[in-house]
Structure 1
Amino acid sequence: MPRDTFEARLDALRTDVCAMGRDVTERLDRAVTAYEQRDPEAGRAVADADGEINERYLDLEAECIDLLALHQPVASDLRLVVASFKILTDLERVGDLAANLGGYVDAMAGDTVPSVPITDIGEMTLAQLRDAIAAYETGDAQRCRDVAAADTDLDERCGAATNDLVRSLVNHTPDDDVAPTLADTRRYLLTVRDLERAGDHAVNIAARTLYMVENDAGLIY
């Protein structure tokens, strides 16, 4: 494969990964908004569209494999393809988490438990994802480190929300039918967990990008 053709395919890969990243982030944003507005139809739409992300993931994964097999890239080019390959996996999993959140909203019974700061947690997660994708797009090493540093705040916020949910359940005054409260509490806990996991995937993206840019595996765990 001619060098200029290979470089064009590398550029296209990076552009396509960023586009997928923005799409996945938008889907997560829509899922968080559906939760905030108690909009089951919007949540269901996010969940039902997950197949589109899976198809894009498989197409771009195949492109990474072709680039590795046909050209045998070295040094920085190799790191870009390998990092992109792994970042695609993180993005696909964030897409799965967005679909999960959409499904939780669709199944909510109503206002059966105290308000949980899902919107605030969601905004923190979305900010991490946007920063991680921007760092990959521009090769910004410092932004990668900032994403990793911000994850501590997200973990603390998720931990506090989880504790509040458990406390509210313990202090709940039983009524004739506690099943809806128990079911909704479980979904809220899963929502917090999944947003925290999405933040972890943002850190993974930042770590892979830092490896790509500086050959530094310090953020990878």
Structure 2
Amino acid sequence: MARNTYQSRLNQLEEDVLYLSELTAERVRFALDALEDKDERKAQEVIEGDREINRIYLDLEQDCIDLLALQQPVAGDLRFIAASFKIITDLERIGDLATNLAQYAIDAENDVYAEVDIRRIGDAALDMVDQAMDAYETEDTDLCHSVAERDDNLDTMCDNASQSIVRDLMNGDDFEGDGDLEPETALVDVRRLLLTVRDLERIGDHAVNVAARTLYMIDNDDSLLF
């Protein structure tokens, strides 16, 4: 493979990874909108769009394999391809989590525990993903470390939300909405809310993974990988 063609394929790989990140972030935002507005149409759009994310992921996976097999890259190019290979896996999983959130929006029958600001938690997780991908695009090591540091704050937000839900449930406090809900129905709604918080926390974890792989790509620094 000619060197200029090889470099062109590396550049295209980066552009395609960035496109996948934009697409998955959009899906998460749509899912958050669906949760907030109880918009079943938008939720269904997210679920149906997961097939496109999976297709792009598989195409990029094959691109990475081809570059590794045909060119046998070394040093920086090797780290770039390997990091991109790992990053697209995290992005695909973020897409799966967006699908989960959309399904929760469809399944939701009642407004429960309005004090838990799902949108605020979701926006914080998405900001981490955006920052991690900015680090990948600009090769900014400071941004990589910033994403990892912000994960503690997201974890605290999620822990506080989950603990509040469980504590009030055990204390018998009423949830927002119909006060005459059957206990079994209320428990289903609470479980869905806890799963929503958990999946948002996982989106943040994937953002940290992207930042860690990016830091390794830039500086051969594995300090965020463990």
TM-score range, shorter chain: over 0.9
Counterpart in the other structure of 1:211: 216
Counterpart in the other structure of 1:178: 183
1:180 CA displacement: 2.1
Greater CA drift, 39-48 or 129-138: 39-48
Counterpart in the other structure of 2:225: 220
Q: Does residue 191 of the first structure (1) align with residue 196 of the second (2)?
A: yes
Counterpart in the other structure of 1:151: 151
Instruction: Write the letter of the residue equivalent to 2:95.
Output: G
Deviations 1:158-198 (A, max 9, x none): 00000111122222468462222111111110010000000
Closer, same or farther: CA 176–144 of 1 in aligned 2, 3 Å: closer
Conserved 8 A contact 1:118-1:192: yes
1:90-169 mapped onto 2 (5 Å cutoff): 90-169=90-169
Conserved 8 A contact 1:148-1:219: yes
Counterpart in the other structure of 1:4: 4
Q: Determine the C-alpha separation between the residues in 2 that align with 1:113 and 1:136.
A: 37
1:131 CA displacement: 0.3
Greater CA drift, 166-175 or 56-65: 166-175
Instruction: Write the letter of the residue equivalent to 1:180.
Output: T
Compute the RMSD of aligned alpha carbons. Answer: 1.3
Deviations 1:90-123 (A, max 9, x none): 0000000000000000000111444421011011
Closer, same or farther: CA 176–220 of 1 in aligned 2, 3 Å: closer
Deviations 1:41-74 (A, max 9, x none): 2122212211110010000000000000000000
Q: Would you say how many aligned residue pairs link Structure 1 and Structure 2? A: 221
Conserved 8 A contact 1:114-1:168: no
Q: Which aligned runs of 4 or more in structure 1 are off by greater than 2 angstroms?
A: 112-115, 172-176
Q: Determine the C-alpha separation between the residues in 2 that align with 1:179 and 1:109.
A: 13
Conserved 8 A contact 1:109-1:180: no
Instruction: Write the letter of the residue equivalent to 1:120.
Output: R
Unaligned runs of 5+ in 2: none
Q: Determine the C-alpha separation between the residues in 1 that align with 2:130 and 2:155.
A: 17
Q: TM-score, normalization: structure 2?
A: 0.94
Q: Determine the C-alpha separation between the residues in 1 that align with 2:168 and 2:34.
A: 23
Q: Does residue 202 of the first structure (1) align with residue 211 of the second (2)?
A: no
Identity fraction in percent: 49
Q: Determine the C-alpha separation between the residues in 2 that align with 1:25 and 1:114.
A: 24
Unaligned runs of 5+ in 1: none
Q: Secondary structure at the match of 1:133?
A: helix
